[in-house]
A and B are shown apart, each in its own frame.
Chain A
């Protein structure tokens, strides 16, 4: 006897959603296994919010199948909503409502909510509990929205750019919360523009562009493209890289992406490192902060989605 495969927390197959002539999502597949964290990355306008809103039941798919906890977000909305926590990209409170009032209202909608006072305290909102929403700072508004997503003790949480506009302390706190959510068995789908955040939190990263998946896998899988590595070092700005480029093996390139910051890309092996340091000796400079690293998630992202600014 085989056990049935565990029901995915979120399952999206062949999702298409257009706005007029714009295909915001164009044949997207993704799957969030239970108690895991999926990070959805993509340039502005890639279709992240659209995807999340379809999963939340706010947008109807043109074609494709979306299941959350095995249920249809629109047809089974009443059964599904109490089990799902939602943090939208911006907004989500009456302009004049006080932070504590808003969270209490959302808490009343749940059968066994988290303690509102405790949650405000944890998110550093106790001091502004009586401040109207429109007078909260951007980061405070974000924290309140996160609190609203969590207060009902959901099984699945959708967070659309949860750390946008947050200071580093608040961001760490969110990371801490997401880690705890996963450990406690909650499935999380979040979007972000911070590669570091995706690497730190996600079991699975999905990079989308123009509404399509362009890469997916664990952060390690995405950045471990075989032999490709980077060597970085600092030295006096404006060194002539001609001799170095000739000395490097084929497939390795040297550049100075910012003044005084040098980058060698390609199949970096110990021999290449020796070549670089020998060249530095010839130039009479120290190679400061010399380090060899795998490609970062950001490199992968830029490679896949290009370097031009999105409209």
Chain B
């Protein structure tokens, strides 16, 4: 009665290799991000536009050399866009589409549902750094050599902090709500969170708040270290605190669907 030969579906269950599973999941999510037009706009085109536009056009007063002042802020914007906004929105819709349930039904351990996403985010951040860094260099960017290693740690910590916040938002609410909130928060942080305007340029109560927001900490930290080559321990501490706090909370609130 059946067209399949005996034994076709004979059970042979087992868990795949953890490293292969994790990399396969991260690779797919990385590729999907770069294939998605809106994500590319958010993570690459907008930061590129700001970098090039603000460097070449004298529309806002920026101390010169302009590119040295603009690049650290654009890098902070890029990290925030990918790890927080893009990731929260993708997570919200993936939950809607039953992706998390699908993966949770495989041998993939639960923690790797999030770990795989973080790896993918990190991959996108590396692409952003390469693209934005090259363009900035072309525009005459001269980062302080001693600041490169601290900047890398800041970017890692910033990715962790924004990533945890992205999972917190995208893992708890309905997809449409996630979309609205993620975009609103992005805009708020860009304008008033220490990204476009320096924390010191913001009016009094806002400047105090922005300094301890992950956006302000990352932008100011990158700015300091890439200009002066010193390690901004305070900013690093702020970012790690956000990563830990949001991560712990997100682990409790993450829902599969």
| A, B bound | yes
Query: A residues touching B (Cβ–Cβ < 8 Å)?
Result: 56, 58, 77-78, 81-84, 86, 88, 90-97, 101-102, 104-106, 108-114, 133, 148, 150, 152-155, 176-177, 179-181, 183-186
The answer to whether A155 touches B11 (Cβ under 8 A) is yes
Find out whether the CB atom of A81 lies under 8 angstroms from the CB atom of B107.
Answer: yes
Q: A86-B105, A105-B28, A184-B7 are in contact. Are A176 and B2 (CB under 8 A)?
A: yes
Chain A residue numbers with a CB within 8 Å of B93 are 95
Q: Cβ of A81 and Cβ of B105 under 8 Å apart?
A: yes
B155-198 near A? 1/0 per residue, CB < 8 Å:
00000000000000000000000000000000000000000000
CB contact under 8 A between A92 and B15, given known A106-B106, A179-B2, A186-B9: no
Question: What are the interface flags for B72-107 relative to A under an 8 Å C-beta threshold, 1 for contact and 0 otherwise?
Answer: 000000000000000000000110111101101111
Q: Which of B1, B10, B35 has the most CB of A within 10 A?
A: B10
CA distance A95 to B31 in the complex (A): 13
Known: A58-B104, A104-B24, A152-B107. Contact between A94 and B15, CB under 8 A? no
Q: Is the interface on chain B under 10, 10 to 19, 20 to 34, or 35 or more residues?
A: 35 or more
Q: Which residues of B contact A102 (CB under 8 A)?
A: 28
* Minimum C-beta distance from B179 to chain A (A): 13
CB < 8 Å neighbour of B1 from A94, A106, A179: A179
User: Which residues in A have their C-beta under 8 angstroms from that of B36?
Assistant: 96
Q: B3 near A: Cβ within 8 Å?
A: yes
Residues of A with C-beta under 8 A to B31: 101
Tell whether B12 is near chain A: CB-to-CB under 8 Å.
yes
For B94, list chain A residues within 8 Å (CB): 94-95
- With A110-B14, A111-B14, A176-B2 as given contacts, are A58 and B101 in contact (CB-CB < 8 Å)? yes
Chain B residues with CB below 8 A from A111, complex form: 12-16
Assess whether B61 is interfacial by the CB under 8 Å rule. no
Q: Are B106 and A153 in contact (CB under 8 A)?
A: no
Binding site for A on B (CB under 8 A): 1-4, 6-16, 20-21, 24-25, 28-29, 31-32, 35-36, 93-94, 96-99, 101-102, 104-110, 256-257
The minimal Cβ–Cβ distance linking A264 to chain B, given in whole angstroms, is 34
Q: How far is the CB of A111 from chain B (nearest CB, A)?
A: 3
Q: What's the nearest-Cβ distance from chain A to residue B218, in Å?
A: 28
Residue of B with least CB distance to A91 = B98
Q: CB-nearest residue of chain B relative to A173?
A: B3
Q: Which residues of A contact B20 (CB under 8 A)?
A: 108
Chain A residue nearest in CB terms to B112: A109
B35 touches A110 (CB 8 A): no
State the Cβ distance, B255 to closest chain A Cβ, in Å.
11
Q: Within the complex, what minimum Cβ distance (angstroms) separates B31 from chain A?
A: 8
A88 touches B24 (CB 8 A): no
CB atoms of B2 and A180 under 8 A apart: yes
Contacts known (A93-B102, A96-B32, A96-B36); A105 close to B24, Cβ less than 8 A: yes
Given contacts A81-B107, A105-B25, A181-B9, contact A95 B97 (CB under 8 A): yes
Interfacial chain B residues near A77, Cβ < 8 Å? 110
In contact, A110 and B32 (Cβ under 8 angstroms): no
CA distance A104 to B7 in the complex (A): 22
CB-defined A-B contacts under 8 Å, sample of 28: A58-B104, A82-B15, A82-B107, A83-B11, A91-B97, A91-B98, A91-B99, A92-B99, A93-B97, A93-B102, A94-B32, A94-B97, A95-B94, A96-B32, A101-B31, A104-B24, A108-B16, A109-B24, A111-B14, A148-B102, A152-B13, A153-B11, A154-B11, A155-B11, A179-B2, A180-B4, A180-B8, A181-B9
